[in-house]
Amino acid sequence: MTEPSPGTLPEPGCEPPPEPQAAELVTPRPGMAGTRPIPWTGAEPIGDGATLRVTWISGVEPCQVLDRVEVAETETEVQVTLVEGSDPASPDAVCIELGVSKAVEVDLSAPLGERTVVDGAA
């Protein structure tokens, strides 16, 4: 199969994959119902390394809402646990099953440096 020349359309069935969805930056909302730890998919230091940007795939609100982020730091490790629940203000909500890329920024007590980041929900 040949690459399409500039300005032409690719052959049917050979469309390029869609661009990855940018993660929606969310803020924890304490007080959610039925909270539980959920796994995250990535964590990277930003800025001077004293902040982590943690990403995960979740459902839509009000059915899946970030309640809190728990952080435990040692000299060698940073454990990050995301805790989600549902919004108690919408107990009868019906939500579609759709994966949404979300992110939260977590402040550390010191820059990450050589410490390992681990998922507390794992």
pLDDT, one tens digit per residue, over 15-67 is 554 455 689 999 999 999 999 999 999 999 999 999 999 999 999 999 999 99
62 lies in some domain: yes
Residue 63: which region, alpha, beta or left (left: phi > 0; alpha: psi -120 to 50)?
alpha
**pLDDT tier for residue 14 given thresholds of 50, 70 and 90:** low
Q: What is the pLDDT of residue 84?
A: 98
Q: What is the pLDDT of residue 8?
A: 47
What total number of domains does the chain contain?
Answer: 1
| The two structure tokens encoding residue 37 | 């730890």
Element (DSSP H or E) covering residue 79: strand 77-86
Q: What is the pLDDT of residue 22?
A: 87
Would you say the pTM of this structure is higher than 0.85? Answer: no
Dihedral pair phi/psi, residue 4, rounded to 5°: -70, 145
Q: What percent of the chain has pLDDT over 90?
A: 75
Closest CA to 106 of 71, 65, 58, 75: 71
Query: Across the strands, what pairs with 73?
Result: 78
9 lies in some domain: no
6 lies in some domain: no
8 lies in some domain: no
